[in-house]
Structure 1
Amino acid sequence: MIIVGKVIPFVNRKRELSSLNNFFNSDRAELIVIYGRRRIGKTELIKEAIKGQKAAYFFVEQALEKDNLDSFKEIISKTIDNPLIAKADFTWEELFQQIAKEEKLIIILDEFPNLITENKTLLSKFQKIWDEILKNTTIKLILCGSSISMMESYLLDHKSPLYGRRTGQLFIMPLKAGYILDFGVDSIEDAIRVFGITDGIPEYIKDVCYRLNSGERLEEVFQQDKVLFAEAEVLIKSELRDPTRYFKILKAIAFGNTKFGEIANYTEFPAPTVSKYLSNLINLHIVNESYPVLVDKERTRNRRYHLSDNYFDFYFRFIYPNKSEIISTDRISGFEADYNRYLGRIFEKVSEEFLKLNTDMLPFRFNRKGRWWFRDKEIDIVALNDNTREILFVECKWSSLNQNDVKHILELLKQKSGHLRWNNDNRIEHFGIIAKKIQDKETFRAQGFVAFDLDDF
């Protein structure tokens, strides 16, 4: 159920707001790079951070350089209350010379890559502006952008004229699942169902919650006239050439082909092609590499590939392969049952987050955690403490379990745990289960097991 009519405040981002506040209060010039995928909430974060501050926010349009410069002059003119600036025929350097006279003025250039696309020599101009005009002032310059490839190559790469000049950077990540409750969802189960589609992307969460408030069912929020129907393709096309090959690789991963060989077999692409495309997707934070916990990443090929957020996962699992059916019928056959199965792996992410936030509810504090696998054996979560030699094995189930179900799962978990080689002769083992609902979970807790269900979240 969604609470109708709830006003959604700015949600979380406490760490990012604290970092920006520290930058703003410093007694030196700051060059701050803020980047992250579209809809992640970069602009809202900046607007929240500059409340009560003297700041000039400028959204860089996909326009001619002169038009952007003229618009920027107008904003600066109003911000520092100097109408002559708007009328002056300033260059970028001359305009920033006027800006440099101010104390702790915050300048935001949002979607900065749009400026560079029109004229790449501007990077060298901004290098000069920083080195010769701003460096010894108290001006705070924020360069923000959504194109990860362009932001990293233009601003963070060692070949960039601005390399080494930034004083801070924020890569904005999705919100954690628990924060979806702040968007108007009144149960953790509903929050997880929304999270499986939207991940922690604020704009997607707002859109889905609004539609559910309006009486739509979950399978209606991605129909062809809705934002989520095509957003993934728009994002990928904005970053990559030849997107069709990337789409096939992403579809392969979304359907559970997470090993390199499985992806190559599914796509029928040559191994060098798969390797190159996966590398590009990893660099863009669309795909993640993962390794079994305790494994030396540098010495193993036992890696798996996963889509970096749930929206991409959902899109290439449900929307992309079913577009024709969605367009013709506005639905996907068997969606509810299939989506419920899909939520099993989403629940693993949520459960891992829950354990991280609630270590005081565990028998020990862990310093490492992750998924583990070896050949045909897999354990959803393994958490351990290298100092105390304690280890916790956890299975996650997106279902309601009776006592017999739990006993059977825990027995299998104990059998699999013996295959994990870590202090096997001298370790303290703990076993646990996290599920949607556990019958008589206090009985299992009394027996020394870790047992959580949604009532604990």
Structure 2
Amino acid sequence: MCDIIGRKREIAELRRYYDSGRAEFVAVYGRRRVGKTFLIDEMFHDNMVFHHTGLSPYDRRRKITLRDQLQNFYFSLLRQGMEDIAQPKSWMEAFFLLERFLETCDNGARQVVFIDELPWMDTARSGFLTALEAFWNGWGNMRHNLLLIVCGSATSWMLDNLISNKGGLYGRLTGEIKLSPFTLKECEDFYLSRGIKMSRYNTTQAYMIMGGIPFYMNFFNPSYSLAQNIDALFFARNAKLGDEFERLFNSVFDNAEDCMRIVRLLGSRHSGFTRKEIAEKTGLNPNGDFSKMLKALIGSDFVVKYVPFGMSKREEHYKLIDSFCWFWLHFKEGKRIGQEDYWQRHLKESDVASWRGIAFEEVCLQHIAQIKYSLNIAGVSSQQSAWVVKGDEETEGMQIDLLIERADDVVNVCEMKFYKSPFVLTKQYAQVLSARMQTMEKKFPALTFHLTYIGCTELVRNEYSDIFTASLTLDDLFVY
């Protein structure tokens, strides 16, 4: 097994399932490209008796059918040593053949069976779930040396049909693992392991674009600068990630076009939209399928649902949190750029600077645990949200993109700044911040508000900086 970056908790869980001495049925899920297959392959490649991957439904030429999936499963059986069998005509027959194969090669040792991209195998009216249920309930759960691991990027399918199954597979999973994108520290370790030298400033910028997704990061050329790598991956002719947005959604979601429509809308406002607003602005019918799409986007870590500060649960908002999608919508789809060295030539333009500010706020939102640890409040229960106050003729509107509302009645009001040089708080901006704090204290008198600086660089100490009760830098986001 090669060195795996991060994933310590997941590795410990998988080892526990392997050593349990009983039949185990484990589901591993998470955003596409996050490294699920790599983790399982590296953990168990020496002990894997059977490995199969479903065929991707993303094919511009034709639709993948049940026959295609069954043929692919048949070939996997042949490749891994099964002989003298005909191609199965149903999933019930296919899983029976798998039972025969596993019995034939059973020597008493742990048998690891890995079925990757399981949701892709469940084509319309295929009877796949019924056959999987029969395989596990009628045979697998009695094999004390069997470790069945299934993976899927279609997180909503994994949640609905396995983890929250109400039918024959109800309660049958013995374990579930959700794999999340890398943290900044794990990205730093990943780049170092690949011989890629980058400052923490550039590692953070890379995170703003790649979102901690190992598959994307693996394309980086060590001899290129960050800007050169971004051009090569997104803007060059035949760029490796040139069609990734559509490919990503088509391979994960049944209603890919509608899901992309929702994401495009969410990408137009940093604070997000209510369910009603999303339905109205996209023209989608707010029915059960609409709810499933929102649930699927949340489950796949593209979207988060939150209640804006000071509002009731009826005001729940949906917000885009995937850094890759933010970057794609702003620069690839929004601009239709034809310049192959675009990123290198436009690094200092105001549009890029404006995007960096928003993107850094997203990075902070994805590192709440590190922020809390650095503020010495890791043990305090909390929830994070945003607060938007619409202005009128008498009062000026304001927006705070990150508040950490704590169980001890303290709220950290986070001011996030992505500047290359140390941040100097001016008298004018200090007055703006002070006015915001006074507004919040007046509106919520039972709470204590701590203005908290989170920046790429240090906060310069001057006559105005004492308005901040705490200040964090990039190093505090890289703690683990």
* TM-score, with structure 1 as normaliser: 0.80
Report how far residue 156 of structure 1 moved.
3.6
Partners of 2:259 and 2:293 within 8 A in 1: no
The structure 2 residue matched to 1:173, chosen from 175, 180, 195, is 180
Residues 404-446 of structure 1 show CA distances to partners (whole Å, capped at 9, x for unaligned) of 43x5445433432344479955554432212223453498787
Q: Which residue of 2 aligns with 1:144?
A: 151
Q: Which residue of 1 aligns with 2:342?
A: 331
Q: Which residue of 2 aligns with 1:18?
A: 12
Separation in 2 of the partners of 1:240 and 1:445? 48
Partners of 1:435 and 1:452 within 8 A in 2: yes
Query: Secondary structure at the residue paired with 2:356?
Result: helix
CA separation of 1:276 and 1:414: change in aligned 2, threshold 3 A: farther
Amino acid at match of 2:404: A
Q: Which residue of 1 aligns with 2:385?
A: 371
Separation in 2 of the partners of 1:331 and 1:371? 34
Separation in 2 of the partners of 1:422 and 1:91? 70
Residues 30-88 of structure 1 show CA distances to partners (whole Å, capped at 9, x for unaligned) of 0011122321101111023226x62225133534525523532542x4xxxxxxx5456
Partners of 1:65 and 1:118 within 8 A in 2: no
The structure 1 residue matched to 2:219, chosen from 196, 207, 216, is 207
Residues 326-372 of structure 1 show CA distances to partners (whole Å, capped at 9, x for unaligned) of 2x666379565323211212222333455632545436554214133
CA separation of 1:383 and 1:70: change in aligned 2, threshold 3 A: closer
**2:251 paired with 1:238:** yes
CA separation of 1:296 and 1:17: change in aligned 2, threshold 3 A: farther
List gaps (5 residues or longer) in structure 2: 56-67, 87-95, 391-397
Amino acid at match of 2:455: A
Query: Secondary structure at the residue paired with 1:227?
Result: coil
Q: How does 1:228-307 map to 2 (within 5 A)?
A: 228-240=241-253, 243-256=256-269, 258-260=272-274, 267=281, 269-270=282-283, 272=285, 277=290, 280-284=293-297, 285=300, 286-293=302-309, 295-297=311-313, 300-301=314-315, 303-307=316-320
Query: Secondary structure at the residue paired with 1:170?
Result: strand
Q: How does 1:393-412 map to 2 (within 5 A)?
A: 393-399=413-419, 400=421, 402-405=423-426, 408-412=428-432
Partners of 1:188 and 1:454 within 8 A in 2: yes
**2:197 paired with 1:190:** no
Amino acid at match of 2:384: G
Q: Which residue of 1 aligns with 2:355?
A: 342
Structure (1/2) with the larger helix percentage: 1
RMSD: 3.6
Separation in 1 of the partners of 2:255 and 2:128? 28
The structure 2 residue matched to 1:351, chosen from 364, 387, 397, is 364
Partners of 1:97 and 1:133 within 8 A in 2: no
Partners of 1:113 and 1:150 within 8 A in 2: yes
Residues 145-175 of structure 1 show CA distances to partners (whole Å, capped at 9, x for unaligned) of 2233443444345355433211111222211
**2:228 paired with 1:216:** yes
Counting matched residue pairs gives 432
Q: Which residue of 1 aligns with 2:394?
A: none
Partners of 2:416 and 2:453 within 8 A in 1: yes
Amino acid at match of 1:205: M
Separation in 2 of the partners of 1:426 and 1:446? 23
Report how far residue 17 of structure 1 moved.
1.0
Partners of 1:57 and 1:110 within 8 A in 2: no
Report how far residue 26 of structure 1 moved.
0.8
Separation in 2 of the partners of 1:115 and 1:402? 53
Partners of 1:369 and 1:381 within 8 A in 2: no
Amino acid at match of 1:251: R
Residues 267-303 of structure 1 show CA distances to partners (whole Å, capped at 9, x for unaligned) of 5x44636996575144233332222246442xx22x3
Report how far residue 311 of structure 1 moved.
0.8
Partners of 2:27 and 2:177 within 8 A in 1: yes
Separation in 1 of the partners of 2:152 and 2:449? 47
CA separation of 1:17 and 1:352: change in aligned 2, threshold 3 A: same
Report how far residue 102 of structure 1 moved.
3.0
The structure 2 residue matched to 1:65, chosen from 63, 70, 74, is 70
Separation in 2 of the partners of 1:193 and 1:40? 19
The structure 2 residue matched to 1:55, chosen from 48, 51, 55, is 48
Identity %: 21
Amino acid at match of 1:383: I
The structure 1 residue matched to 2:141, chosen from 132, 135, 139, is 135
Partners of 1:414 and 1:431 within 8 A in 2: no
Decide which moves more: 163-172 or 253-262.
253-262
* TM-score, with structure 2 as normaliser: 0.77
Amino acid at match of 1:292: P
Separation in 2 of the partners of 1:378 and 1:231? 32
